[in-house]
Chain A
Amino acid sequence: MIKLENISFDHCIKCTVCTIYCPVARATHLFPGPKQSGPDAERLRIKNPELVDASLKYCTNCKRCEIACPSDVKIAEIIQNAKWNYLKINRFRPRDWFMSRTDFVGSIATRLSLMTNFVLKLRAVRVFMYLLLRIPYRRAFPNYERSTFENMFRKKIAPSQRDYEKRVVYFHGCFVNYNDHSLGKDFVKVMNAMNYGVDIMKEKCCGVPLIANGYIEKARKNAVYNIKSLQRAEQGKRIVTTSSSCAYALKYEYSSFLKLNNSGIIERTDHSTRFISEEFSLGNVPKMKRLGIRAAYHSPCHLECMGGVMHTLNVLKMVPALDLVVLNSECCGIAGTYGFKNENYAISQSVGSRLFAMIDDAHPEFVITDCETCKMQIEMNTSYRVLHPVTVIAMALKEE
């Protein structure tokens, strides 16, 4: 029987516009492109699930096909579903298992941070990882912090947050938790300057890497945990993230892909720049000094998908003396854990090459982007430091 759950593929008029905008199809002919892998093949798969083909694994789930589609077909969703419903995946995948367990790996790595950071730079270790775990030798890894952001926040920051009447819940995500406390601190600084106190709730990885690697059950578990935990935040309190992909998962993928009820949080969850932009337009603009820097802005795929780019731009345009070059929208190629795999490394680099060239042409001092993995990819491939929009505001804040 044909299930009528997602028949949006029937709206496909075969115009192939999605394939124009597919960064993977541009980089390799091994991927036949979203039209063929999505709506075209879906007809066949519905008839016979065995007609699924292995090229689906090349899809990065960047969702640019959905953005491009004139007929509103949920192309990426079709491909993701097909990938995990039909594709016979090898259960023994140690690399993918470790890579997608950001919480598990992160909590160990932060405990042993000195050693982890040292070891990950050793050539022998990298050769070992290349050969055994099939992780690209050249891929740069982020450093690990010495403790989790959560612990640090509870010890050092939480007490100072009690005085604020208005408060937001900060969903910090794994990257801030294990790899980059400074972004979390910047966020708190900016919120405080706008008279908001910051709370954090218990959270687990939002599930983006789990979904990307096919651990759907585990992703669903995490999602249920997060929804439950975030729902406990008082009514009316906004939930804010500094990671565009976390926001995308919390708001959209929990319901559309994992089929969970996230109605209790969807309306009040937002990416940080959207919250800040709304506050700015209400007149709640902190005092900022002239920054005097030139920066290039790269819009991450998942932010674009949420229509969030206008908020980030609105926020950045309010920063005095920030000379902003908005880059043409291009995928950076890393797509979360995708670019951390040997078999995808060349594609990932090739996808990003257009962006790297544009960045160089813009002659910036910094690059600005909302996404942590875009940041890793750009920092590895260009000579520029990458800042989060929130960090840019924090830099511009006038010291009291």
Chain B
Amino acid sequence: MKYDALIIGGGLAGLTCGIRCAAAGLKTAILSGGMNSLHFSSGSIDLMGYDDEGELVKKPFDQVKKICRARRDHPYAKAGLATVKKAMEFFIETTSKTGLTMNHNGDMNHFHITGLGALKPTYLSQESVFSPRGHDILNSGEKIAVMNFSGFRDYYPEQTVAYLKKNRIFAGRDIVLAEISLPWYMDTQKNLHEFRSIDLARIFDTAKYLPRIAEEIRRAAGDAAAVSLPAFLGIKNYRTIRKRLEDMTGKFIYEIPTLPPSILGLRIDQALKESFIGYGGEFIANERAESGPVDSGLLEHVNTRNSGREPVSSKYYVLSTGSFFSGGLASNSQRITEPVFNFKVDADTKRSKWYSWFFFDAKSHPFLSYGVRTDKNFNPVNEKGNTVKNVFCAGAVLSGYDPVREGCGGGVAITSGFACAEKIIGELKK
């Protein structure tokens, strides 16, 4: 069995790459060992949030342009500004085809509100987080309401409000803090505090209790123009459910992500997987790549956990195994490695330099920008120092950028995934 493109890792980068390859008619498979970190994400896509001085970026593409010039090792520079733009367009189009709208503020960043009440600059958000109407309301100074369902323990609106008030946009604002009760739910013998976001999202997905919930929201919110709820307004049916709640309450309904699992991220994950499978891609779950011979400068095949005698082979491979949490990078007390193929990594050799002593250091931790060393084509380097031409790397496994300090994790994943797919498609055409 031979694929055109075998993608190792089914996260944002791997899925974007897979969709582009499968849509181009390539025989594509994604190996996925465990669910990706979209399940822990805000559900917004950051493109470029902060510049090198830590200042907020207003126009993300302008900052990308600067980076393309100034930092040759940055994944954006390797892809080029034009590819970054194309990749974002491709992502917006892909998700919207499955019914998930990702909104942006023209060429400007917008904010999304975190569970702690911080405002984070981002480029793409679902309509419950950013839409022109919501944007107007939040900027108009009108009264807003921050709500939770009583008994739900994975979100604390008091925290959100306390921190929001420290921001100049909301400092003088009238903010209602309220709790509404969950509908009596027939099948449950559970105490409400046992529910996680996913349990509640499922109840919302049935759309059964909306009039009751709308009634409670109206009563609790008073004359507030916008109401924020913890993000579990349904999964597959979220758009219609949110629309109905808005119609019934006459208020803008905003979603704030809770503790994991993130329903906002789950929607993106499902949209991407649906799209990938729809194009004929094979999503192989429970399959972890373990090793593969790369000494010759080409990856010959991949041994996976289940492959046994017959390893999986492909014309081209994409390594999108993520960073430390997802197992794409590993560390022990001496060094940082890429555990599957032992590709060269960019990392400081001295362990004491990997991290900052201050957890919330404004300059971030050095290890966040560590990753697999790649050339301008995203090809990695094997132990002997030879470039491995049939492997491309995408997403958080890459070095040269700091997703936290720069606020660019999602954008890099999508861009590099897309760029790798374009390169594979180009190579196969030759």
Interface residues of A (CB under 8 A from B): 15-17, 19-21, 25-26, 28-30, 32-33, 36, 66-72, 267, 277-278, 280-281, 304-311, 313-314, 326, 328-329
Quick one: which of B34, B36, B306 contacts A69, CB cutoff 8 A? Answer: B34
8 contacts between A and B (CB under 8 A): A17-B34, A19-B198, A32-B194, A70-B36, A70-B326, A278-B1, A309-B285, A310-B282
Chain B residues in 8 Å Cβ range of A307: 284-287, 304-307
- B285 touching A16, Cβ below 8 Å: no
Name A73's closest neighbour in chain B (CB-CB).
Answer: B34
Smallest CB-CB A-B distances: 3 pairs: A307-B306, A70-B34, A29-B188
Question: In the bound complex, what is the Cα–Cα distance between A281 and B29 (angstroms)?
Answer: 16
Question: In the bound complex, what is the Cα–Cα distance between A213 and B29 (angstroms)?
Answer: 36
Name B190's closest neighbour in chain A (CB-CB).
Answer: A29
User: What distance in Å separates the Cβ of A15 from its nearest Cβ neighbour in chain B?
Assistant: 5
Chain A residues in 8 Å Cβ range of B285: 67-68, 304, 307, 309, 329
- When A15-B40, A21-B35, A281-B2 are in contact, do A305 and B286 touch as well, CB less than 8 Å? yes
Answer yes or no: B52 CB below 8 A from chain A CBs: no
Question: In the bound complex, what is the Cα–Cα distance between A15 and B326 (angstroms)?
Answer: 13
Chain A residues in 8 Å Cβ range of B308: 267
Name B260's closest neighbour in chain A (CB-CB).
Answer: A15
Name A317's closest neighbour in chain B (CB-CB).
Answer: B27
- B202 touching A17, Cβ below 8 Å: no
We find that the number of chain B residues with CB closer than 8 angstroms to chain A is 44
For the complex, would chain B's binding face be called helix, strand, loop or mixed by DSSP majority?
loop
- When A17-B39, A72-B34, A328-B274 are in contact, do A67 and B190 touch as well, CB less than 8 Å? no
Name B32's closest neighbour in chain A (CB-CB).
Answer: A67
Chain B residues in 8 Å Cβ range of A280: 1
- B261 touching A20, Cβ below 8 Å: yes
Report B168-199 residues with CB < 8 Å from chain A CB. Answer: 185, 187-190, 194, 196-199
- A20 touching B266, Cβ below 8 Å: yes
Chain A residues in 8 Å Cβ range of B277: 326, 328
- B273 touching A328, Cβ below 8 Å: yes
Answer yes or no: B33 CB below 8 A from chain A CBs: yes
Answer yes or no: B325 CB below 8 A from chain A CBs: yes
- A68 touching B34, Cβ below 8 Å: yes
- A281 touching B305, Cβ below 8 Å: no
Given contacts A20-B266, A25-B199, A307-B306, 15 further A-B contacts (CB under 8 A): A17-B35, A17-B261, A20-B261, A29-B188, A68-B34, A70-B36, A70-B325, A72-B33, A278-B309, A307-B304, A310-B282, A311-B1, A314-B1, A326-B280, A328-B277
- A66 touching B286, Cβ below 8 Å: yes
Chain B residues in 8 Å Cβ range of A21: 35
Per-residue A-contact encoding for B23-38, CB less than 8 Å = 1, 0 else: 0000001000111110
Chain B residues in 8 Å Cβ range of A329: 283, 285
Answer yes or no: B223 CB below 8 A from chain A CBs: no
Question: In the bound complex, what is the Cα–Cα distance between A66 and B305 (angstroms)?
Answer: 14
- A32 touching B190, Cβ below 8 Å: yes
Name A66's closest neighbour in chain B (CB-CB).
Answer: B286
Residue with the highest number of chain A CB atoms closer than 10 Å, among B198, B280, B282: B198
Chain A residues in 8 Å Cβ range of B247: none
Name B39's closest neighbour in chain A (CB-CB).
Answer: A17
Answer yes or no: B427 CB below 8 A from chain A CBs: no
- A310 touching B284, Cβ below 8 Å: yes
Question: In the bound complex, what is the Cα–Cα distance between A307 and B303 (angstroms)?
Answer: 12
- A29 touching B39, Cβ below 8 Å: no
Answer yes or no: B107 CB below 8 A from chain A CBs: no
Chain B residues in 8 Å Cβ range of A308: 306
- A304 touching B286, Cβ below 8 Å: yes
Report B196-230 residues with CB < 8 Å from chain A CB. Answer: 196-199, 202
Answer yes or no: B383 CB below 8 A from chain A CBs: no
Report B281-322 residues with CB < 8 Å from chain A CB. Answer: 282-287, 304-310, 312
Chain A residues in 8 Å Cβ range of B307: 307
- A20 touching B198, Cβ below 8 Å: yes
- A15 touching B190, Cβ below 8 Å: no
Report B37-82 residues with CB < 8 Å from chain A CB. Answer: 37, 39-40
Name B40's closest neighbour in chain A (CB-CB).
Answer: A15
- B1 touching A281, Cβ below 8 Å: yes
Name A14's closest neighbour in chain B (CB-CB).
Answer: B260
Chain A residues in 8 Å Cβ range of B273: 328
- B198 touching A16, Cβ below 8 Å: yes
Chain A residues in 8 Å Cβ range of B260: 15-17
Quick one: which of B29, B187, B304, B310 contacts A278, CB cutoff 8 A? Answer: B310
- A16 touching B261, Cβ below 8 Å: yes
Name A36's closest neighbour in chain B (CB-CB).
Answer: B194
- A309 touching B202, Cβ below 8 Å: no
User: What distance in Å separates the Cβ of B253 from its nearest Cβ neighbour in chain A?
Assistant: 22
Chain A residues in 8 Å Cβ range of B29: 310
User: What distance in Å separates the Cβ of A268 from its nearest Cβ neighbour in chain B?
Assistant: 9
Chain B residues in 8 Å Cβ range of A33: 196, 199
Question: In the bound complex, what is the Cα–Cα distance between A306 and B312 (angstroms)?
Answer: 14
Chain B residues in 8 Å Cβ range of A25: 199
Quick one: which of A20, A29, A66 contacts B185, CB cutoff 8 A? Answer: A29
User: What distance in Å separates the Cβ of B153 from its nearest Cβ neighbour in chain A?
Assistant: 12
Chain A residues in 8 Å Cβ range of B287: 307, 310
Chain A residues in 8 Å Cβ range of B266: 20
- When A72-B33, A281-B2 are in contact, do A30 and B40 touch as well, CB less than 8 Å? no
- B189 touching A16, Cβ below 8 Å: no
Chain A residues in 8 Å Cβ range of B202: 26
Residue with the highest number of chain A CB atoms closer than 10 Å, among B1, B39, B280, B305: B1
User: What distance in Å separates the Cβ of B184 from its nearest Cβ neighbour in chain A?
Assistant: 13
User: What distance in Å separates the Cβ of B194 from its nearest Cβ neighbour in chain A?
Assistant: 7
Question: In the bound complex, what is the Cα–Cα distance between A16 and B258 (angstroms)?
Answer: 12
